[in-house]
Structure 1
């Protein structure tokens, strides 16, 4: 028997992977992050599966549930929102399972940063604009390294997606504006891919106020960068004058 760390996706039940959906149907025990995972995804679970909401559990309590389930010969799915490798707190779980000799596997999921880009209809990596995407969060009760502060990261002016910072949006945008500038395009995407998804557009100078007026205080991502608006260069991959291993260069007449 094995523990599967499964990415549930950003919210839309259809954005879980085929493998993740199959494992939910095979699991005898499902431990899910109830504060974040769309409960509609649990419709894929086997009728007899025992479900535990981990929102009120400690790591030790989660591990105890896993230990009992594996001892009883049951498959365990540990269901995390988005992709479990991003802010999933799975490393400490995996390390504990290794100490207990319990095998596990990670099943990647669709992250909310991808769903947010889909919601606004933009590409993070535009030729001539940005070829780098920064995924980060603002320091709070869980600090971030000094060199990863928003002020430091803003100096790169790369495309940026800010997680877990909706409640400190005014402070976050002020810090980011120190490098990007207050006129830099910004967007807030609330509950990307959920039925109640909402998109707020603006600049670093006004997006926090706009989000506050819309009543957005949690479960939202802040997107920042020139990829949100403005000119960009055409991709050379599909430029007829550009040759590569699968296609030779062509003139304008084909």
Structure 2
């Protein structure tokens, strides 16, 4: 059953990784009904805005600061309009929802979050791989390299590399050389496979493959400097072991 929409709240919607068909059904329905849509600039596939009704107000937030974004939301709510904040991927990763929510709270306005498909999932789908491979890797680290936004010392790439598990590195392809250097310094062998996925699930998606020894040059040669994920780990290699899930001798409790 479709829930009744509350125009006294802002709806934060995860737009998915790029393919306009990878937005959730709930997100799609919200876009269809929205009166005001504030979308995250070029990170959002403009085809998603085709789901909006012709009279909807669509605002590109790439050129707006936080208070301008909040003011658009507040104005919409005060005029009894359905307001949607459309953000890339899933809201729970590098989404800045909390700071927007805190500003809305100052205006006595609540919000709802609608989950989306993250680009790390879209990238795995493009490659046809699993981050968790029996006897190879059973964990995934999602992180970024420190830049203008610092990372806690305990979460540095060097420290995480000591686990040598699957890793998806966001917002760092512009420093791919330093990324590779830190991962090797932290413990990954230089022959560890790496894939860089540019604009996963978009029509112009590119996939670059290599190892920690050569991926930096490959990415530089391709001219990729943003909107790409770095995937690292043995899950990208040839080693594979069958899961016990469908073993004939295995119990069926978890199927």
The TM-score with structure 2 as length reference comes to 0.95
What is the alpha-carbon distance in structure 1 between the residues aligned to residue 72 and residue 252 of structure 2? 53
Matches of residues 7-18 of structure 1 in structure 2 within 5 Å? 7-18=14-25
Give distance in 2, aligned partners of 1:241 and 1:227: 26
The question of whether the paired residues in 1 share the 8 Å contact of 2:136 and 2:235 is answered with yes
Q: Once the 2 structures are TM-superposed, how far is the Cα of residue 110 of structure 1 from its aligned partner? A: 0.5
Match runs of 1:160-239 below 5 Å: 160-178=167-185, 179-239=187-247
Task: Pick the aligned partner of 1:143 from 127, 147, 150.
Answer: 150
Deviation at 1:235, TM superposition (A): 0.7
SS at match of 2:112: strand
The alpha-carbon deviation at position 246 of structure 1 amounts to 6.4
Name stretches of at least 5 consecutive residues in structure 1 with no aligned partner: 248-254
Q: What RMSD over aligned residues (CA atoms) do the two structures have, in Å?
A: 1.1
CA shift, 1:96, in A, is 1.8
Count of residue correspondences = 247
The answer to whether the 8 Å contact 2:245/2:254 transfers is no
Could you tell me how far apart the structure 2 residues matched to 1:51 and 1:222 are?
32
Within 2, Cα distance between the matches of 1:157 and 1:246? 28
CA distance in 2, matches of 1:112, 1:123: 14
Cα distance between partner residues in 2 of 1:62 and 1:78: 9
> 1:19-168 counterparts in 2 under 5 A?
19-168=26-175
Q: Distance in 1 between matches of 2:180 and 2:44?
A: 27
Give 1:156 shift: 0.6
2: CA distance, partners of 1:49 / 1:170: 44
- 3-state SS of 2:158 partner: helix
TM-score (norm 1): 0.95
**Ranges in structure 2 where 5+ consecutive residues have no aligned partner:** 1-6
C-alpha deviation, 1:103, in angstroms: 2.1
